[in-house]
């Protein structure tokens, strides 16, 4: 089999590696327009803030390493057209790459480009920003956008000594339509001397020395669309549960493709590195002849905001209401360890459907235990657990790690009062 993969990084390289394991005789060519095919894009803000010393530490595997596995990786190479009737990918150089199966992993691009602003989407973006910070004395910086990348950019710039403000055109942070969560985050940012302006569209120059634009992403779908591949209601590539497009033999994975939301069962576009890696793995398996199914996503994500861990999964109450559920919620604060172990307050909101009792979503704010707790809720959502089932989960207890009643269980008990 001849396999062509358009796009590297998470989805594309995961797909290529899976095909190589399943089909030792496959001829695999990866077409990547950037200079590096396999790196951790999610680690870029931490190179900017200094916790990663060298960007090369973010490289998961070099092109030479892939070559040892007989995967040809062409970096600095751009695909400009797909001729599926001929089973060819045409490159900007004019060369045609033949294929029997094709995987599209073209990722996403910024939804809006601000002249003179820096971005933090690709390795090249990060290099340009890092070089600027290295030679420019700290001053006033503005971050445009209140999503995950925007909040990570705030952290990174503060670590470099810059005075930062955050501006977003939306009414909330993290895009969950959660007014209380947004208010909590705004108060926390203000305490960290990061002023926040909501509902403000930036249409002109800003009175600031540095601008980082993080206004969101759009799926990179032009190449696929021009080839006759259907897009879904989200604007990303529509795929089956096996990640195949409407053109037989062409698969799509990662930030360019839709997935299914585990709560609603409807198509959704949530571009995350974890999702891209899983989709790439399954797309590679199916291109190799298997019939593996991608189950979907709960939208689980986590970010650190000026020292505060923020984890989310599933739907917020307002999102659940828009999807036709009857949401009820409970918010609690409880210590993540016993008081005598200097436990810190953790804030949790659980959301459930009043009619069925099914868990729909959560957010967790706190310290080191945030990831573990939001992952527990994500697991419960995946297994369609009810609040009644959730409240008696057998969670680990020992004073150095958690209180006897974990904050998740305290939240579930409060939520049960609505039933």
Q: Are residues 128 and 11 in the same domain?
A: no
In a domain, 117, yes or no: no
Q: Are residues 206 and 223 in the same domain?
A: no
Region of residue 213 (left: phi > 0; alpha: psi -120 to 50; beta: else): beta
Q: Are residues 84 and 58 in the same domain?
A: yes
Q: Is 36 helix (H, G, I), strand (E, B) or coil?
A: coil
* Predicted pLDDT at 177: 95
Q: Is 324 helix (H, G, I), strand (E, B) or coil?
A: coil
User: What residues contact residue 387 under an 8 Å CB cut-off, 6+ apart?
Assistant: 350, 352, 357, 358, 359, 412, 415, 416, 419
In a domain, 47, yes or no: no
Q: Are residues 209 and 234 in the same domain?
A: no
Q: Are residues 254 and 343 in the same domain?
A: no
Q: Are residues 406 and 348 in the same domain?
A: yes
328: tokens are 């009820």
Q: What is the CATH number of the domain that holds 311?
A: 3.30.390.30
Q: Are residues 186 and 165 in the same domain?
A: yes
Residues designated catalytic: 42
Which residue, 192, 213, 234, sits at the end of a domain? Answer: 213
In a domain, 208, yes or no: yes
Q: Are residues 266 and 345 in the same domain?
A: no
Q: Are residues 346 and 401 in the same domain?
A: yes
Distance, CA of 406 to CA of 396 (rounded, Å)? 8
250: tokens are 């062409």
pTM, full prediction: 0.95
User: What residues contact residue 82 under an 8 Å CB cut-off, 6+ apart?
Assistant: 6, 88, 89, 90, 102, 223, 224, 226, 227, 229, 250
Contact 248, 232 (CB under 8 A): no
Residue (of 179, 199, 204, 225) closest to 81 by Cα position: 225
Domain boundaries, position 150: 123-213
Residue-by-residue pLDDT tens, the chain, 419 positions: 999 999 999 999 999 999 999 999 999 999 999 999 999 999 999 999 999 999 999 998 887 889 899 999 999 999 999 999 999 999 999 999 999 999 999 999 999 888 899 999 999 999 999 999 999 999 999 999 999 999 999 999 999 999 999 999 999 999 999 999 999 999 999 999 999 999 999 988 889 999 999 999 999 999 999 999 999 999 999 999 999 999 999 999 999 999 999 999 999 999 999 999 999 999 999 999 999 999 999 999 999 999 999 999 999 999 999 999 999 999 999 999 999 998 899 999 999 999 999 999 999 999 889 999 999 999 999 999 999 999 999 999 999 999 999 999 999 999 999 99
How many domains is the chain partitioned into structurally?
Answer: 3
Q: Are residues 56 and 128 in the same domain?
A: no
Distance, CA of 314 to CA of 300 (rounded, Å)? 7
In a domain, 22, yes or no: yes
In a domain, 46, yes or no: no
In a domain, 298, yes or no: no
User: What residues contact residue 266 under an 8 Å CB cut-off, 6+ apart?
Assistant: 260, 323
Q: Are residues 241 and 92 in the same domain?
A: yes
In a domain, 302, yes or no: no
In a domain, 299, yes or no: no
Q: Are residues 345 and 404 in the same domain?
A: yes
Which residue, 213, 228, 246, sits at the end of a domain? Answer: 213
Which residue, 213, 245, 263, sits at the end of a domain? Answer: 213
Q: Which residues of 103-121 are buried (b: 16+ CB within 10 A; e: fewer)?
A: bbbbbbbbebebeebbbbb
Q: What is the CATH number of the domain that holds 251?
A: 3.50.50.60
Contact 313, 374 (CB under 8 A): yes
């Amino acid at each position: 089999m001849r396999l062509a993969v358009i796009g590297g990084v998470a989805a594309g390289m995961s797909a290529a590696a899976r095909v190589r394991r399943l089909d030792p005789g496959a001829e695999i060519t990866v077409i990547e327009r950037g200079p590096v095919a396999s790196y951790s894009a999610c680690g870029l803000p931490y190179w900017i803030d200094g916790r990663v010393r060298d960007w090369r530490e973010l490289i998961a595997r070099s092109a030479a390493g892939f070559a040892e596995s007989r995967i040809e990786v062409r970096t600095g190479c751009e695909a400009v057209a797909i001729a599926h009737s001929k089973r060819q990918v045409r490159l900007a150089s004019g060369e045609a790459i033949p294929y029997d199966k094709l995987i599209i992993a073209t990722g996403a691009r910024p939804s809006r480009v601000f002249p003179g602003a820096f971005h933090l989407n690709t390795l090249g973006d990060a290099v340009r920003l890092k070089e600027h910070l290295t030679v420019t004395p700290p001053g006033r910086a503005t971050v445009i956008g209140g999503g995950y990348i925007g909040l990570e950019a705030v952290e990174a710039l503060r670590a470099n000594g810059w005075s930062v403000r955050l501006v977003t055109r939306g009414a909330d942070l993290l895009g969950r339509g959660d007014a209380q969560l947004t208010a909590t985050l705004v108060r926390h940012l203000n305490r960290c001397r990061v002023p926040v302006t909501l509902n403000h569209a930036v249409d002109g120059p800003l009175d600031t020395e540095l601008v980082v634009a993080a206004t969101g992403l759009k799926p990179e779908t032009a190449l696929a669309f021009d080839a006759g591949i259907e897009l879904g209601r989200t604007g990303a590539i529509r795929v089956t549960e096996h990640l195949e497009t409407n053109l037989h033999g062409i698969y799509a994975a990662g930030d360019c493709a839709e997935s299914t939301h585990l709560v609603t069962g409807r198509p959704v576009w949530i571009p995350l590195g974890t999702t891209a890696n899983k989709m790439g793995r399954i797309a590679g398996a199916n291109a190799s002849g298997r019939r593996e199914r991608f189950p979907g996503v709960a939208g689980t994500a986590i970010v650190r905001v000026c020292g505060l861990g923020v984890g989310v999964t599933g739907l917020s109450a307002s999102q659940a209401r828009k999807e036709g559920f009857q949401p009820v919620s409970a918010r609690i604060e409880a210590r993540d360890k016993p008081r005598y172990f200097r436990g810190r307050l953790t804030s949790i909101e659980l959301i459930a459907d009043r009619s069925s009792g099914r868990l729909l979503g959560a957010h967790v704010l706190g310290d080191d235990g945030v990831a573990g707790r939001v992952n527990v809720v994500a697991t419960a959502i995946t297994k369609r657990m009810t609040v009644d089932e959730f409240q008696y989960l057998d969670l680990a207890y020992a004073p150095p790690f958690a209180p006897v009643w974990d904050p998740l269980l305290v939240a579930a008990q409060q939520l049960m009062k609505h039933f």
